[in-house]
Structure 1
Amino acid sequence: MSDLPRNPVARTARLASLPLGIAGRTALGLGKRLGGKPAEIVLSEAQRRTAEQLFKVLGELKGGAMKFGQALSIFEAALPEELAAPYRATLTKLQDSAPPMPAKTVHRVLAEELGANWRRRLRHFDDKPAAAASIGQVHRAQWTDGRDVAVKIQYPGAAEALRSDLNQIGRLSRLFTAWMPGLEIKPLVAELKERIGEELDYSLEAEAQEGFAKAFDGDPEIAVPHVRLHTSRVLVTDWLDGTPLSAVIADGTQEERDRAGLLLVRFLFSGPARAGLLHADPHPGNFRITPDGRLGVLDYGLVARLPDGFPPQIGRLLRIGLDGDSERVLEGLRAEGFIKPHIEIDAEDLHDYLKPFTEPAREPTFRFNREWMRTQFQRITDVRGSSAKTAFKLNLPPSYALIHRVWSGGIGVLAQLGAEAPFRGELERWLPGFVDDDRPELPEKSTSGEALG
């Protein structure tokens, strides 16, 4: 494979093969159903075969197809075990592995971005990528001072491939819903498309990463590589060794899982207070456990700028919700724009809908696991229940989009880890307004920052 969109027709054809495949499986399932096979078994078989083809196609592509697969992998814990188990390894692979571009293309990009003498700064450059993901791949090299560095190189044509793939996936949203009922694909694709420009500019990513690196420099628990050099398409940072978080999820001891979960929450919630930034792409491929036991954090292509930290309304509303004052939570969410003025919502139904976000903060310690995640997901997506009806009435203000992404995505990763830890203490430490004995009146609507690539 050379440049990413070398054959855009072939890329589109691969994605377009998905609905044809599911149509055939649906017809086959109907035949089995008419032949007397139970409906539940037919549905399960159709879902399994659809998942098989879906993951195969996503795994063969980069661009928006893989970006979508990465976002999907966060919610693997919500899938029924009989469906998720056979494809867990494939979902994990989507997080940090894609077909690499050839060395001659890599060298061409480096020459265009860094000049013909790029090897003077990047010594012992390894042509074999250490990781290959949605819009770029990473190579190991040596900096001029002998330090090992990671060289992140953007695929030529990444922007076109991202937009093309996401447009096609948006048109195939019904297919994904058939595979996983209750999964809202269109909002997910819309958010990915909205962030394309941010993630494509490595200069913005370098700015964000160095902001984190300075804030966490010397931290005994969190490791953020410093930036050495950057252009809009090449990013050189210190190399970070470690065990991928996906390996901890798959094979880690309970102690290792608990520790990783606690450090993940600590990093995500402390970032706004310490760096004025929120890492907004919390899928397992972006995290490592370093040899000295720290949480290593990679990929700063998507962050939110929160110079004043988390908006205190989040902590205050969470505290009020834990106190059982559902009417006041309703009032506060309406003031923040989550409920539009003309929409009527029952306060108790809202309280039930918010349980996945509030329950982990109710006790000093909490255990996340796949069973809990599946139960919550089924509850809020069951169209016959009040929670699903409530979900249709809620609005997500743009200023909270990335915060919501981190909160829900973080829960998905913690459920994959099966982590148990004193998460409430992290909220008390880092979430403004959560510890507030006087409970002052909720302030007027706030602005919670903006995205920064």
Structure 2
Amino acid sequence: MVRRDNDGRILKLPRRVDAGGDPPTGGFARTTRLAGLPVAFAGRRMAGAGKRMLGRSAEEIDRDIQARTAQHLFEVLGELKGCVAKLGQLMALYELALPADFAAPYRDALGQLQDSAPAMLPPMVHRVLAQQLGPTWRTRFLEFEDRPAAAASVGQVHRAVWHDGRRVAVKIMYPGAREAVLSDLQALRRIAPLFTALLPGADSRAVIEALCAYIGEELDYELEAAHQRAFAAAYADDPDFVVPDVVARIGDVLITDWLDGVSLSRVLGQNQPLDRDRAGLLVLRFLLSGPVRAGLLYGDPHPGNFRIMPDGRLGVVDFGACAPFPPGYLDALTDMARAILSEDPTDIEAAIRRRGYMEPDRAVDIPRVLHQLAPIRDAMLDPTFRMTTTWLRKRVSATVDLRLSNVIRQLTMPAEHTPMLRTFLAGISVMSQLQPELPLREECNRWFPDVIAALGLDDLPPATKPLPALASMELPLPQGNPPPPRRISAVPNISHDSAVPRPDDDR
């Protein structure tokens, strides 16, 4: 795991495993640990075949393989930390592709990974705040809690009271986190060809580069503050949503209003009472309305980033990874969806090729593609649709099935669509855990009426079941989109002395 000194500072680790078993940090060694994951899994399968010959049941052996693989995955990702640990949230989707009883060890291991970041101790926290806010940093706060309230992707959050009396959340980046993440980005780039096994039709290097850019944005609190300001302004005084205002961004410290709500992950984990239809509709509405109201797609839908507020509203935090739709994205989506709804194989193939989801010289069984996409099509045709983990598990399993007969593996994906697909899958994962019944088509029509009209779905009968009571049902749609915040494209070029506040820091 990550090593720290007595103050909680991340220590540079030796390039080789020492006698105490410390993890490797050299580029080659780190890449070797990542590349060893599929090799180790193959070895376990071969060993399992031998055990079956000795009389052990296939079910018992498979359970053992899944448990050992989950633990190995946890150990490697935990040691590499940085951006690879961030991928744990994305990999949680693959847990849904496993049979429910086999998924448990993966879920436990990934849960450990997300909760295992060691906290900075108070002396280190004070030192970082002195470097970032100045030696008189305490005068900025009436109160400051040394004990962290939560872990963030590359830092931790403390509860405090700002000098004007506002209760605030103080997000502090771990010392050394930037270097660790950039190192892991390079490690991921080195093993990009290995992902061809999962994405045989895609440009794996371009897809990994897009993921690296998304992960790297977690390093830029200036960009995160710009994203959050855009959302906070767009949803100010909203009756159904609350986005905390940005109080200040100073170097690698981000200070925002504090939210009192209970995280959705805790509600789900403890099976607390909850109007799941309403909560699911709130999550869906926030994700769909972001590009229209704030000019940005919320990029990190995860149960831990949503809060159920005391007044029933949905609170949203963590705006590090947000993005506008890529140019032409809605046109491409409309084009392909129209063809799929037509059920005409010729139109479907033409649209998929036209939009870059099929290589020019690759032959694809279009009727089988349509069969795989039918459940998604039906979700848009029905007045209401119930999302469940069982439904999602079937969809993900069909998509990531490694057999060559899987027709989805014959398709490709434009790299620039990677963030949209990631957000789409993560959002569906959150909603599926709630298992709500949603007016999916009506909600899409509310925010993207031109798309629904182009698909010919605007005249279909609406839901007959009463919808959850949301105050914003009666709100007029905002006119016009605010310009998206400035975006930083060259993530690896981020390099500055975090101890020295920059001229554009907020004070």
Once the two structures are overlaid, the 10-residue window that deviates more, 43-52 or 23-32, is 23-32
CA distance in 1, matches of 2:296, 2:485: 10
Separation in 2 of the partners of 1:226 and 1:30?
57
Indicate how the Cα distance of structure 1 residues 97 and 210 shifts in structure 2: closer, same or farther if over 3 A, else same.
farther
Question: Partner of 1:7 in structure 2?
Answer: 13
Answer yes or no: is the 8 Å Cα contact 1:305–1:452 preserved in 2.
no
Deviations 1:127-184 (A, max 9, x none): 1111113311111111122111111111111122224445557788999999x999x9
Equivalent residue for 1:422?
Answer: 439
1:263 deviates by 1.0
Secondary structure of the residue that 1:123 maps to in structure 2?
A: strand
Match of 1:394 in 2: 412
Relative to structure 1, the CA distance from residue 438 to residue 37 in structure 2 (aligned partners, 3 Å threshold; closer, same or farther) is closer
The reply on whether 1:193 has 2:212 as its aligned counterpart is yes
Task: Verify the 8 A CA contact 1:277 1:307 in the aligned structure 2.
Answer: no
SS in 2 for 1:302: coil
Q: Does residue 445 of structure 2 align to residue 433 of structure 1? A: no
Classify 1:193/1:435 alpha carbon distance in 2 versus 1 (closer, same or farther; 3 Å). closer
2-structure distance, mates of 1:370, 1:353: 17
- In structure 2, the CA distance between the partners of 1:28 and 1:306, relative to structure 1 (3 Å rule), is closer
Matched residue of 1:288: which SS? strand
- Counterpart amino acid of 1:153? I
Amino acid paired to 2:388 = N
Q: In structure 2, what is the Cα distance between the partners aligned to 1:451 and 1:391?
A: 35
Secondary structure of the equivalent of 1:304?
Answer: coil
Whether the 8 Å CA contact 1:96–1:131 is kept in 2: the answer is no
Paired AA for residue 313 in structure 2? R
Code of the aligned partner of 1:82: D
Q: Contact between 1:140 and 1:148, CA under 8 Å: does it hold in 2? A: yes
Judging changes above 3 Å, is the alpha-carbon distance between structure 1 residues 150 and 62 closer, same or farther for their aligned structure 2 residues? farther
Distance in 1, matches of 2:412 and 2:196, equals: 20
CA distance in 1, matches of 2:14, 2:127: 21
* Conserved 8 A contact 2:132-2:252: yes
Superposition pairs for residues 303-452 of structure 1, below 5 Å? 303-306=322-325, 311-315=330-334, 317-355=336-374, 357-384=376-403, 388-398=406-416, 400-436=417-453, 452=487
Task: Say which of 115, 122, 126 aligns to 2:141.
Answer: 122
**d(CA) in 1 for partners of 2:65, 2:81:** 26
Mark the CA change 1:89 to 1:48 in structure 2 (over 3 Å): closer, same or farther: closer
Residue type of the partner of 1:3? Answer: R
Q: 2:299, 2:423 within 8 Å by CA — same for their partners in 1?
A: yes
The one of 211, 223, 226 aligned to 2:245: 226
CA deviation vs aligned residue, 1:58-100 (integer Å, no higher than 9, x gap): 4577422320212222443333211223553553454465211
How does 1:194-343 map onto structure 2 within 5 Å?
Answer: 194-252=213-271, 256-306=275-325, 311-315=330-334, 317-343=336-362
Any residues of structure 2 matched to 1:2-81 within 5 Å, and which? 2-7=8-13, 9=15, 10-12=22-24, 16=33, 19=37, 29-55=48-74, 58=77, 62-81=81-100
Letter in 2 for 1:330: E
Give structure 2 stretches of 5+ with no counterpart. Answer: 16-21, 457-483, 489-507
What CA deviation, in whole Å up to 9, does each residue of 1:18-37 have, x standing for no partner? Answer: 75976885575354223122
Alignment check: 8 A CA contact 2:211 2:418 kept: no
- Gaps (5+ residues) in structure 1? 440-448
- Tell me how far apart the structure 2 counterparts of residues 248 and 424 of structure 1 sit (CA, whole Å): 27
1:397 Cα offset (Å): 3.8
1:155 to 166, 174, 181: 174
Q: Mark the CA change 1:373 to 1:437 in structure 2 (over 3 Å): closer, same or farther.
A: closer
Equivalences, count: 440
Correspondence 1:157-172 to 2 at 5 A: 157-165=176-184
- Of stretches 71-80 and 259-268 in structure 1, the one that deviates more from structure 2 is 71-80
Larger Rg over CA atoms: 2
- Structure 1 residues 404 and 336 mapped into 2: Cα distance closer, same or farther (>3 Å)? same
d(CA) in 2 for partners of 1:94, 1:451: 32
> Structure 1 residues 198 and 171, CA, compared in 2 at 3 Å: closer, same or farther?
closer
Q: Structure 2 CA distance, aligned partners of 1:102 and 1:175?
A: 38
Match of 1:444 in 2: none
Deviation at 1:335, TM superposition (A): 2.6
Tell me, in whole angstroms, the C-alpha distance in 1 between the residues paired with 2:338 and 2:274: 29
1:264–1:103 Cα change, 3 Å? same
Give the TM-score of the pair, scaled to structure 1. 0.84
Task: Report the equivalent of 1:98.
Answer: 117
**In the TM superposition, what whole-angstrom CA distance separates every residue of 1:244-295 from its partner, at most 9, and x where no partner exists?**
1112333446853222221111111100001100111222222111111111
TM value normalised by structure 2: 0.76
Whether contact under 8 Å (1:246, 1:285) holds in the other structure is yes
Partners in 2 of 1:66 and 1:135 — Cα distance? 10
Stretch deviating more after TM superposition (156-165 or 232-241): 156-165
State the Cα deviation string for residues 316-365 of structure 1 (Å, max 9, x = none).
54344234345334333333322343333343233234345434222111
- CA RMSD in angstroms comes to 3.6
8 Å CA contact retained: 2:364, 2:407: no
Q: Determine what percentage of the aligned residue pairs are the same residue.
A: 44
Task: Give distance in 2, aligned partners of 1:95 and 1:261.
Answer: 23
